[in-house]
Structure 1
Amino acid sequence: MQPYSTPFYFIVLGLALIPLIVSISLGKKMLWYQVLVTIIFLGWSFSGSVTLWALLGYGVYQSVLVKAYEYYRVKRASNNTWVFYATVLLAILPLVIVKVTPTVDPSRPNSIIGFLGISYLTFKVLNVVIELRDDLIHQVPLRQFIYFLYFLPTISSGPIDRYRRFEKEYQNRTVENYPTLLGHGIFQIFLGFLYKFIIGHLIVTYILHNVAITATVNPNFLTMVEAMYSYGLYLFFDFAGYSLFAIGVSNIMGYDIPINFVRPFAAKNIKDFWNRWHITLSFWFRDFVYMRLVKTIMVKRWSKNRILISNVSYFALFGLMGLWHGLTWYYIVYGLYHAVLMVSYDAWLRYKRRHHLKIADNWLTKGLSIALTFNAVFIGFLIFSGIPNFAILHSINPSNPLPNF
């Protein structure tokens, strides 16, 4: 059963967490019980024989890779760039195979080494490898790494935690202010129910399903706009609901993991949006792709033009983000579209500074900024949804399948 997919999952999980709640309230985290619950629920969630073995094999593979690189960096005190690059490539290799398989062999939409959440686990592994490289992590105890990798609440859909932050909470044998954290976790779960099982369900069942088919069969400005808004809202409430579930369960287990959404549709510009939307993913790409690429270009002196460096790095960041979602043209276009938005926004800021342009800061300008950002973001959601792709394919051959959200 997919994590957080049905109320029944929460009933079983809630019963399993009762002993842990009591134990933490009494001052003991009972890590052995956390591990036991994790094993049981991972076995339940990934019960397909191939999927379960893929999950276990992935953990063994990445653990060997991380420990080998830890030995290389710490014990041998070596830091060759090409060894680092090779380690990164080996870390992402399983994910690449999973993403490429459907494109290479359409008859096999799912790779035998694929499983739900492999992308998020890969981000965790890369976080450890990169920070070993940067000398920010000096040791990675195997048991601790495995628990970080397979952390039950976030394994399927994030949020993407960082190893050093997680390590501090893992090593603390008690949880400070647990009653507050517990109450917050329960609230997050109920809010997630509202988002996913009520609002998201109503949108997809009574609005999105119908308008997506209409936009595919009869594509025009109006039907695409309807599809754009309905899909964007559904995406938010469904995904934010999952994130709230993960945060809530983590809180109940004594972990205060990062949030993933902070009123994203109140963003005043595209940069503000990415500071509010899928925060752990956007910050991961910012820290480990954008900033590192900017630094590399400047250190290697490939260019002295700071604007060019920034723009190239934006396209690299969002291009990779698009590819991460899948090797499909509309995911790639979605990523590049956001790169264009970021580059355009930076150009607008430079224009204002150069011409000493001052815009009044009042409710009207704020509202206009929010409205422009909101609609720009939702155009991206329309691209991401694949509905235009369905419309194109349907116009070529009406027997092609219709979207089914």
Structure 2
Amino acid sequence: MTPYSSFLFFIILGILLLPTMILGTMGKRFRYYNVFVSIVVLAIIFSEGGSGFFSLLAFTILQLILIKGYISYRQTKNSSLVFYIVSLLSILPLVLSKVLPILAVDNWASFLGISYLTFRAVQIIIETRDGLIKEQLSIFQLVHFMLFYPTISSGPIDRFRRFQKDEEKQWTPEEYKELLYKGINKIFLGFLYKFIIGYSINSYFIMNLEHIADGKFSYHLLYMYSYSLYLFFDFAGYTAFAVGVSYIMGIRSPENFNKPFLSRNIKDFWNRWHMSLSFWFRDYVFMRFVFLMKKKKWIKNKMLVSNLGYILLFLLMGVWHGLAIQYIIYGAYHALMMTGFNFFETWNKKHKRWPTGRAMTIVSIVITFHVVCFGFYLFSGRPFQ
């Protein structure tokens, strides 16, 4: 059963989370019951058979061994080689899940949520290397974080220390009631976004574009706009479900969207769209690449370093979506947009030629909207069909 795809799934969730809500409003702890709920829901999600459950099990065991082993190692030693080996082994299942279909091999490595579980595991390994995580983590702590079901299939991507802070918090009845209220509101917002607006755009407009458009150009133009809006409402709706259920379980999962179509430039857009993913790549790919270049002094030109960082970041993000041509081109497109904006921003800070004011803010939003929509048009794969 796919998470948040049917009303039956929400009915099951409502029944399972009823004790959590009762305990929460009484000021009682519910962390162990929530782990039980996660196990039950994961069993339902992977109940359709196939190798998905066994792949998830093998993946989780591998990550537990790598994380606990590296934390123990890091308490006494600090070898960059060991860190890179452990990180590569942690990422290996995700790489195999992307490569095996290209090789026309049965994709035994893939299962629902492998990307987001990999992000969680790698983040712990990196923060252990940085000294932010020093203590040995229990199996319970790691399993609860890794297999937290509300965000398992498509995020948002949480950070372990933030998650652990909420997981260990003793919510007062008043605090939990406020959290419960916000969670239920987000779930209803998700229904509005995904099952009403998103569904209507797809069913009544995109599926009928051949009859609406009066030419090839207008067809692709209308498809670009409608697909962009559909993608937002469908994904934002899912995120609202995930965050809302997380709130009910006492975990304030991070938001993923902040009015992205009101972005004033492409950099602003990536601070508003799929924020947990873009911030993850920013912190663990871009910033580390820039730091490495400065530390080793391999490249002294700051502009070149940042632009190479953007190219690396967005190509990886494109490949992460898949190895199909549209995803790679999508990543390259945003790398080009970011490097171009980087040049423009640096030039404008020096010369201050770009006009300011409310009117220009509106112009900037309109330009950015079209740049973003064209990127989603590439992402959809429609130009390559």
Partners of 2:297 and 2:341 in 1: CA distance = 25
Q: Deviations over 1:173-223 (max 9, x none)?
A: 3357111111000000000000001111111112223338999xx984222
Give the equivalent residue in structure 1 for 2:70. 69
1:60-209 to structure 2, matched below 5 A, reads 60-74=61-75, 77-105=76-104, 108=106, 111-139=107-135, 140-174=137-171, 177-209=175-207
Aligned counterpart, 1:229: 225
Q: Rate the CA distance shift 1:64–1:382 in 2: closer, same or farther, 3 A.
A: same
Give 1:278 shift. 0.2
Which of 347, 356, 369 aligns to 1:374? It is 369
Q: Which amino acid aligns with 2:368?
A: T
Distance 1:220 1:68 in 2: 57
For 2:315, the equivalent position in structure 1 comes to 319
Query: How far 1:356 sits from its partner (Å)?
Result: 3.3
Which residue is 2:328 aligned to?
A: 332
Q: d(CA) in 2 for partners of 1:334 and 1:131?
A: 30
Corresponding residue of 1:353: 349
Aligned residues: 382
SS of 2:77 mapped into structure 1: coil
Q: What does residue 52 of structure 1 align with?
A: 53
Deviations 1:263-303 (A, max 9, x none): 00010111111111000000000000000000001101111
Any conservation in 2 of the 1:29–1:254 contact (CA below 8 Å)?
Answer: no
In structure 2, distance between residues paired with 1:46 and 1:210: 34
1:383 aligns with 2:378: yes
Once the two structures are overlaid, the 10-residue window that deviates more, 321-330 or 352-361, is: 352-361
Change (3 A) 1:356 1:194: closer
Higher mean displacement: 220-229 or 305-314: 220-229
Per-residue CA deviation, residues 104-123 of structure 1 (Å, 9 max, x unaligned), is 11x64xx1121111000000
Structure 1 runs of 4+ aligned residues shifted over 4 Å read 212-215
C-alpha distance in structure 1 between counterparts of 2:356 and 2:371, whole Å:
22
The aligned residue for residue 261 of structure 2 is: 265
Name the amino acid aligned to 1:34. N
Q: Describe the shift of the 1:214–1:59 C-alpha distance in structure 2 as closer, same or farther (beyond 3 A).
A: farther
SS at match of 2:273: coil
- For residues 136 and 92 of structure 1, the distance between their equivalents in structure 2, rounded to whole angstroms, comes to 21
For 1:27 and 1:337, the matched residues in 2 are separated by 50
CA offsets 1:299-344 (integer angstroms, 9 cap, x no match): 0111110000000000000000000000111101111111111111
TM (norm. structure 2) is 0.96
Q: Write the letter of the residue equivalent to 1:267.
A: S
Distance 2:310 2:113 in 1: 25
Aligned alpha-carbon RMSD (Å)? 1.7
Secondary structure, in 3 states, of the residue corresponding to 1:102? coil
Partner of 1:104, secondary structure, is coil
Partner SS state of residue 112, structure 2: coil
Which residue does the alignment assign to 1:16? 16
How big is each residue's C-alpha offset from its partner over 1:196-251, in whole Å with a ceiling of 9 and x where there is no partner?
01111111112223338999xx9842221111111111110111111000000001
Separation in 2, partners of 1:209, 1:53: 37
Give 3-state SS (helix, strand or coil) of 1:103's partner: coil
Q: Measure, in 1, the Cα distance between the counterparts of 2:267 and 2:250.
A: 32
Which residue in 2 is equivalent to 1:32?
32
Deviates more, 1:223-232 or 1:157-166: 223-232
**Structure 2 runs not aligned, ≥5 long:** none
Q: Is the Cα contact below 8 Å between 1:212 and 1:387 reproduced in 2?
A: no
Conservation of the 8 A alpha-carbon contact between 2:167 and 2:250: no
1:274 aligns with one of 270, 274, 278? 270
| Alignment TM-score, normalising by the size of structure 1 | 0.91
Q: Which amino acid in 1 is paired with 2:128?
A: L
State whether structure 2 residue 315 is matched by structure 1 residue 285.
Answer: no
**Secondary structure of the corresponding residue to residue 100 of structure 2:** helix
Alpha-carbon shift at residue 355 of structure 1 (Å):
2.1
- Cα distance in 1 for partners of 2:286, 2:317 equals 11
Q: For the residues of structure 1 that align with 2:288 and 2:342, how far apart are their CA atoms?
A: 19
User: Residues of 2 paired with 1:174 and 1:370: CA distance?
Assistant: 41
2:67 and 2:212 map into 1 onto residues whose CA distance is 49
Please report how far the alpha carbon of residue 102 of structure 1 lies from its aligned counterpart in structure 2 after TM superposition.
Answer: 1.0
CA contact (8 A) 1:35 1:147 kept: yes
C-alpha displacement at 1:49, in angstroms?
Answer: 4.2
1:124-154, Cα deviation, whole Å (9 max, x unpaired): 0010000000000012222101100000111
Identity of paired residues, percent?
Answer: 48
| Matched position secondary structure for 1:257 | coil
